[in-house]
Structure 1
Amino acid sequence: MKKIQKLLIPKGVRVIVISDIHGELNLLKELLHKVNFKDDDYLIINGDLCEKGNDSIGVVNYVMDLVVSKPNVYVVEGNCEVVVEALVNENPALINYLCTRKNTIFNEWLGKLNITVNEESDIREVKNILMSYFSKEIKWLTELPTAIETEDYIFVHAGLEDRENWRQTDRKNAIAMPEFFNKSHRADKYVIVGHWPVVNYSEEAPSNNPVIDKEKKIIAIDGGNAIKEAGQLNAFIIQRTTSGDTFSYTYVDHFPQYEVLADFNANSVMQGGVTYPHYYIEPVERMKGFTVCKQLGTNELLHVKNEYIKQLESGEYTVKTDISCAQLSVRNGDVVSLIDGSCAGYDLIKKDGVEGWIEKGILLELEKKGNTIFS
């Protein structure tokens, strides 16, 4: 990769890393408010500002403004930003992309101009129109660095190749490499990535929280926002100190919050979850509320909520979406998010970023956030 930005981050400051915003402007503003983002903080946006959410224009313009108005805001390109190059290079495949994907910055731009695209649209004409009105944004997106290198960290959207000179990593891999947390690298510093939802790495109850491998020096922070139904937007926080950096994180999501009214003790046998790419299952024993299933591809036995089991026309079984197969222990007074309250006997909740089931009837909805706007 050619576009590597060098950055000096002094000791004594806070570094806030956010990735995979995916057009969710309100969540981004809420998250920056939650971490109390200030001018002396360093903010790293680690790729995928746009696509998939419903306000990619808003996110791109907001971040562009932050880069100008704040002293220490830096942005890395992700695979979703690189899609803009398909427009610049007049790739005809982009027309099919626009016809099949509603939530994309291109369709948002075209919508502002009251223009719709169909299979017969000409890519050169689309390019000329968008370049006439949005050349500033397009230029900014195409000039983003592929990686930011500091004394102790490398910020890159997807990962690095396991090679002696990490700078020789192919750009396509840097922005789109799958499951980097399960791989390795030979850089002599922490590599912080997004791109691959961390819930895909979960072995016990599905967790959307950042994960750290201190031995391999890999930190993965993609909370699955706008990708996973129970996803969240994470902020990974590095506190720089002379005695060594410390790590923490927080998150925001769209789910309503509830107070727990009674203790519930999880069945420790119920663990794990079904997530990408192992969605196919084989029912073994149907029980009240859940069915014990063998997960094809891993051969693990999981308790899948009956409402989430789907039989295909072929006779095979799968799950309707990524789903936790774990129960969570909660205590009276805990505050949790409700993901699904429509199932019999149990509610699907998120507690501190972890998804699982609790007994139905012990939740009280808290006052809604309302329409709070964070500027």
Structure 2
Amino acid sequence: MTYVISDLHGYKLEKLKMLLAKANFGEDDFLYILGDVVDRNNDGGVEILEWLLSQYNAQLILGNHEAMLLYCEFLFDEITDESVAAFDTEKIDILTNYQLNGGDVTLKALSELNKKSPETVADILDYLHDAPLYEAVTAGGKDYFLCHSGIDEFEKGKKISDYPANAFIWAWPELDDEYFDNIITVFGHTPTMNYGEQYRNKIIKTRTWIDIDMGAADGKTEPVLLRLDDMKEFRN
């Protein structure tokens, strides 16, 4: 069975494991996290990132918040007089922007982890560098395209490889946007309630796409785990 979840934003690993247990997630199943594990709440998702390092049947697809974290990777470089001197206005702007988007908790947790195990932090950053922007899967006899945000400025017939990376992590689809005719695109990034109060805590399904972001970034709303094979939803 193939499962998807998105925009955990510091969701506690213990609660994610509870959710997977509710779905009877097992060794023969596969989980795709559609971006934005990090930032905003609790430990900023660092515990889940550590867990992902050893999971053979789970994969993070890169989200815009992971991309912003990678922009701040310089914070974990060895501190020297030269590196301090190179901490220019551009880097300060990048860091400030990340902090404004909820990155403080993640940076704090990574900093603490870096004191105990810099190797683990290096492994996490390597994992994020290797995280794919999208995946194509088949489940329940249907084809799916998985990414973080939908596809910005989508054009039918355009090769996926011709889109810039940002197209898959910063898109804000309209309800009437359409993607592939015979492939369902599944994403998060835009909380469904942003499309109207009637969509709060509900997955949105259109003819060509599914939005599964429940808005867990607020720290109060529970994410939803969706099994693609039969469209069954699981919640804590």
What TM bracket, shorter-length normalisation?
Answer: 0.7 to 0.9
State the partner residue of 1:210: 203
Mapped to 2, the partners of 1:165 and 1:30 lie a distance apart of: 40
Counterpart residue identity of residue 191, structure 2: P
Name which one, 1 or 2, has greater alpha-carbon Rg: 1
- Determine helix, strand or coil for the equivalent of 1:82: helix
Counterpart residue identity of residue 247, structure 1: M
Give the drift of 1:185: 1.7
Confirm whether residue 31 of structure 1 aligns to residue 9 of structure 2.
Answer: no
Structure 2 regions of 5+ residues with no counterpart? 75-86
Question: Within 5 A, what are the aligned runs for 1:92-171?
Answer: 92=91, 93-97=93-97, 100=100, 101=102, 103-112=104-113, 134-151=121-138, 152-160=143-151, 161-163=153-155, 164-167=157-160, 168-171=162-165
Counterpart residue identity of residue 136, structure 1: D
Question: Within 5 A, what are the aligned runs for 1:36-115?
Answer: 36-55=24-43, 56-67=45-56, 72-88=57-73, 92=91, 93-97=93-97, 100=100, 101=102, 103-112=104-113
The one of 164, 170, 173 equivalent to 1:176 is 170
Greater RCO structure (CA 8 Å; 6+ sep)? 2
Give the drift of 1:222: 0.6
Measured at CA, do residues 145 and 99 of structure 1 come closer, stay the same or move farther in structure 2, by a change above 3 Å? Answer: closer
Contact 1:49/1:81, CA 8 A, preserved across alignment: yes
The one of 205, 217, 235 equivalent to 1:226 is 217
Structure with more strand by fraction = 1
Counterpart residue identity of residue 73, structure 1: A
Mapped to 2, the partners of 1:103 and 1:188 lie a distance apart of: 41
Counterpart residue identity of residue 62, structure 2: E
TM score, norm. by length of structure 1: 0.51
Q: What is the CA RMSD across the aligned residues, in angstroms?
A: 2.6
Contact 1:181/1:220, CA 8 A, preserved across alignment: no
- Determine helix, strand or coil for the equivalent of 1:226: helix
Mapped to 2, the partners of 1:24 and 1:75 lie a distance apart of: 14
Counterpart residue identity of residue 209, structure 1: K
Counterpart residue identity of residue 147, structure 1: Y
Measured at CA, do residues 104 and 79 of structure 1 come closer, stay the same or move farther in structure 2, by a change above 3 Å? Answer: farther
Structure 1 regions of 5+ residues with no counterpart? 1-13, 115-129, 240-245, 253-375
For residues 4-53 of structure 1, give each alpha carbon's deviation from its aligned partner in whole angstroms, at most 9, with x where no partner exists.
Answer: xxxxxxxxxx2111111111123312211211211111211111111112
Structure with more helix by fraction = 2
Mapped to 2, the partners of 1:86 and 1:96 lie a distance apart of: 11
Mapped to 2, the partners of 1:133 and 1:75 lie a distance apart of: 17
TM score, norm. by length of structure 2: 0.78
Percent identity at matched positions? Answer: 21
Mapped to 2, the partners of 1:175 and 1:98 lie a distance apart of: 15
